[in-house]
Amino acid sequence: MSQLIMELCDRLVCNTYARYPVTFERGAGCRLWDTEGEEYVDFVAGIAVCNLGHSHPEVARVVCEQAQKLVHVSNLFYTGPQVHLAQMLIERSFADKVFFANSGAEANEAAIKLARKYSRDKYGPGRFHVITMEDSFHGRTLATLSATGQEKVHQGFDPLVEGFHYVPYNSVEAVERAITEKTCAVLVEPIQGEGGVRIGDLDYFRALRELCTAKDILLIFDEVQTGMGRTGTLFAYEQLGVTPDVMTLAKALGNGLPIGAMLATAQAAQAFTPGSHASTFGGTPLVTAAAAKVLEIISDEDFLSQVRDTGRYFLERLEDLRDRHSGLIRDARGRGLMLALELVGPGKTVVDRCLEKGVIINCTHETVLRFVPPLVVSRQEIDRVADTLDTVLKELEG
């Protein structure tokens, strides 16, 4: 069964992914089962997507009920669930307005378009440059891959969209130097996800805020991965002491249903007028009803406090692993349940061996083992993963 699916997939689906040889059939909480009935503990969660775990019963119920009522009518009309979600997002963030999209890339596209339009409306043409960071990740559409500061993502897609300038992450001076009279926005992740779980300093974000405010440059936080409770607060920017002008969300917003959102202050958002931007599927009743339920559960203060506690416990276990395997591990770090072990060498073998033992983890930026489990993960599940890592690292040392 699994063999047939894998063969057909390789033959019929565009060959854009290096997939692991597993076919999943079912999930519940932090567990997945493959077509052979094998159980796995999932610390990837669809890449920081299923923050409430797989098949969350309350989300499933909302999806079933809404699917039987109304799935889609287009943005030619008003629908209640879309407005309800917008209201919830605004109540819980710095923002005054929301644009709904279907993915992280699309949310970032909207943010980039908004920044260009905002600047053009106020200052005329030519002020369209966006400063982004080296090793950032913002998506795979043409504009967002151009925004992404990684050569391997650009490879083969020249010419890129004009106007993106990459500077080293966490360097205020580099941003200062890169700003010109043509700059309309600075786009940055509070913690670089794909770039290896790199954490920016508080001073860095404070300085970016000041620079952007002084020059009327929009500060855009890409919280596609860090948002929705991942780092222990609903949004990661809450821990930075500054607010952006624009923030993008996606990944966990629908707990697996495709939804993205761009949130903006009233001042920035005014640049979008009827006809500026659109999306057929953006903010359908089905996905917004699901996302409202997800947001309701995650933004509960007890839930978030639990994420911080569990995250601390997990980080302690990772630090312990770092101390026990200092020849292989360079660093243990992260916030909330966005955690990482930076290895001395490539992490692929560790990921492969963990998978053979029923533990799903992920490696990003070659050498960084990334852990983004469902936020409902238990200490027993963390122990299972940490113990498995211990065994695998011992094997590699031995």
Known binding residues for N(2)-acetyl-L-ornithine are 140, 279
Residue 54 makes CB contacts below 8 A (sequence gap 6+) with 26, 27, 28, 29, 30, 31, 32, 42, 256, 374
Tokens encoding 86: 């917008």
- Tell me whether residue 100 is one of the annotated catalytic residues: no
Spatial contact of 375 and 360, defined as CB atoms under 8 Å apart: no
Name residue 188's amino acid: V
Contacts of ligand PLP in 235-264 (CB under 6 A)? 250-251
What is the separation, in whole angstroms, between the first and last Cα of the chain? 36
Binding range to ligand PLP, per CB under 6 A, among 79-87, 132-140, 200-208, 314-322 = 132-140
Kindly state whether residue 189 participates in binding ligand PLP, applying the rule CB under 6 A. yes
Tokens encoding 36: 């052979």
Selected from 43, 118, 137, 314, the binder of ligand PLP by CB under 6 A is: 137
Q: Which is nearer to ligand PLP, 108 or 119 (CB)?
A: 108
Name residue 74's amino acid: S
Tokens encoding 348: 């692929």
Nearest CA to 194 among 222, 167, 220? 222
Q: Any idea which residue has 């001073």 for tokens? A: 203
Kindly state whether residue 138 participates in binding ligand PLP, applying the rule CB under 6 A. yes
> 3-state DSSP call for residue 292?
helix
Q: Does a cis peptide bond (omega within 30 degrees of 0) precede residue 159?
A: yes
Q: Which is nearer to ligand PLP, 137 or 166 (CB)?
A: 137
Selected from 29, 104, 200, 373, the binder of ligand PLP by CB under 6 A is: 104
Number of shown-chain residues binding ligand PLP (CB under 6 A): 15
Q: Determine the length of the chain.
A: 398
- Tell me whether residue 251 is one of the annotated catalytic residues: yes
Kindly state whether residue 224 participates in binding ligand PLP, applying the rule CB under 6 A. yes
Binding range to ligand PLP, per CB under 6 A, among 33-41, 189-197, 265-273, 370-378 = 189-197
Kindly state whether residue 103 participates in binding ligand PLP, applying the rule CB under 6 A. yes
Shortest spacing between CB 191 and ligand PLP, in angstroms? 9
Q: Which is nearer to ligand PLP, 248 or 299 (CB)?
A: 248
Shortest spacing between CB 361 and ligand PLP, in angstroms? 17
Choosing from 97, 117, 251, 293, the catalytic residue is: 251
- Tell me whether residue 69 is one of the annotated catalytic residues: no
Spatial contact of 261 and 101, defined as CB atoms under 8 Å apart: yes
Tokens encoding 155: 């490879």
Query: Which spans of this chain sit near ligand PLP (rule: CB under 6 A)?
Result: 103-105, 108, 137-139, 189, 193-194, 222, 224-225, 250-251
Q: Which residues are catalytic?
A: 137, 222, 251
